[in-house]
Amino acid sequence: MSRAGSLRGYILIRIALMIPMVWVLLTTVFLMMRVAPGDPITATLGGKLSPEEVAERQAALGFDRPLIVQYFDYLWDAVRFQFGTTITDGQTIGDLIAENGGATLTLTVAALLVALLFGLPLGLIAGRYRETIPDAFIRLFAILGYAAPPFFVGLLAQLLFAQRLDWFPASKMASPIVQAQAETHTHILIVDLAIEGNWSGVWDVLQHLVLPAMTLGLLVTGVFIRLVRVNVGQALGGDYVEAARARGIPERRVVSRHAFKNALIPVVTVMGLQVALLLGGAVLTEKTFSWPGLGSRLLGYLTNRDYIGVQGLITFFALVVVVISLIIDIINALIDPRVRY
């Protein structure tokens, strides 16, 4: 701890530490899905097929083997990014992620942008003018933004901006005609349309994106405001800020150059945690706006009791969270030399 290690060492250790983490996550998912009595086939199709047919399917998919064998199989598949084939619609999880992942990616990235756009400035203002009226209002806004679940905000937004004012479309990712025109290149609709040069299509998707992105973004905005506010408050009390003031640097410069910059570093760290919040919120937002992403698919599999579908998507979400938090930690180590093992 006392001697700062090298950056390369840090990154290597960080990656090595990811392995037990992933293992525990995968094991947890497996145990949770399989500790339940019965096997996936019986749970999904038990009522619909005869016992012989169920047994046949079990054998075909390997669910009649000992649990421990299935466990190692599952681990091995997950390491190779293969999460199985769904029971109800026979899609591989990989295809499914390729097909619907783009929509979720578009939504979460847009929401993150919204959150940065509103959260950072508001947090800076609140932190700079602590314990004043603007601070109190911004704080209340942050609490309300977090307290209002995305589906409620989404419904209100639909009622106001789609129904009453008719500014934006209420749901779905694009108009049917745009959806039909689009050729598949990257599976991310807006990028595909841009590649085709279909700018009116891009505009259409952007219009559809506004309400869901704002809805999901609001959730994270509240978190950002709180974080930035606390950090700015602490930075302004720091010794180096005091020193800068003592050197006669104008207060405005002290705040913008010295305090704000340092206050934003911890925000990067915590962004990693927000990925989990974003993904959870995305499931709710997708349902509210009929957004054709992974969350919508997950809900479909939940309703149909498709264990493989649920297990595969949950595993994928878990891996995404772990990998992103790894990337964030590395970025954090790059910008903050104090972060070393």
Partner 1 sequence: MTATSTVTGSADAAPPAGPPRRRGGLLKKIAAPYQQSHGVQRFMLVTGTAISVIIVLLAIFAPLVAPYSFDTYQADGVRFPTQGEPSDVNPWGTTVQGFDVMSRTIYGARTALEVLVLAVVFSLAIGVPLGLISGYVGGWLDRILVLIMDALFAFPYLLLAIVAAFLLTNTIDSGIVVTAIAITVVYVPQYFRVVRASTLSAREATYIEAARAMGAKPGTIIRKYLFGNVVQSVPVIATLNAADAILTLAGLGFLGLGIQPSEAAEWGYDLQRAIADAGAGIWWTALYPGLGIVLAVTALTLVGEGLNDVLNPTLRRRRVKRPVISSSAVGPASAPEVEQEAG
- In the range 234-253, which residues lie near partner 1 by CB under 8 A? 234, 237
Angle at 228 between CA 152 and CA 216, to 5 degrees: 20
- Residue 294 corresponds to which amino acid? L
Under the criterion CB under 8 A, does residue 172 sit at the interface with partner 1? no
Rule CB under 8 A: say whether 317 interacts with partner 1. yes
- Per the DSSP assignment, residues forming a β-bridge with 85 are 92
Report the residue number, 163 or 200, with the smaller CB distance to partner 1.
Answer: 163
Residue found under tokens 């979720």 = 104
> Out of 7, 194, 322, 330, which residue is the one contacting partner 1 (CB under 8 A)?
322
| Tally of CA atoms within 13 A in the half-sphere of 84 that contains its CB | 27
Q: How many residues belong to the site for partner 1 (CB under 8 A)?
A: 75
Of the two residues 164 and 252, which places its CB atom closer to partner 1 in the complex?
164
- 6 touches partner 1 by CB under 8 A: no
Piece of the chain touching partner 1 by CB under 8 A; list 20-28, 92-100, 200-208, 252-260: 20-28
* Residue list 109-168, contact with partner 1 (CB under 8 A): 130-131, 135-136, 139, 143-144, 146-149, 151-152, 155-156, 158-159, 163-164
Helices (H), the chain: 7-35, 40-45, 51-61, 67-79, 93-128, 133-147, 150-157, 176-181, 189-196, 199-236, 239-246, 251-253, 261-289, 294-303, 307-335
Task: Select from 54-62, 80-88, 189-197, 219-227 the region that touches partner 1 (CB under 8 A).
Answer: 219-227
Spatial separation of the C-alpha atoms in residues 270 and 115, rounded to whole Å: 13
Burial annotation 323-333 (CB, 10 A radius, 16+ → b, else e): ebbbebbeebb
Closer of 27 and 184 to partner 1 (Cβ): 27
Give the tokens for residue 281.
Answer: 């919120």
- Residue (of 120, 129, 134, 154) closest to 222 by Cα position: 120
When the beta carbons of 148 and 206 are compared against partner 1, the nearer one is: 148
CB of 202 to partner 1, least distance (A): 25
Choice from 94, 121, 280, 300 touching partner 1 (CB under 8 A): 280
> Segment near partner 1 (CB under 8 A), from 26-34, 64-72, 79-87, 183-191?
26-34
194/331 with CB nearer partner 1: 331
Other C-beta atoms closer than 10 Å to the C-beta of 92 total 15
Q: Which is nearer to partner 1, 58 or 269 (CB)?
A: 269
Phi, psi for 85 (deg, rounded to 5): -115, 135
Of 57, 128, 226, 297, which one interacts with partner 1 (CB under 8 A)?
226
Considering only 208, 284, 291, 292, the residue that binds partner 1 (CB under 8 A) is 284
Biggest distance spanned by C-alpha atoms of the chain? 85
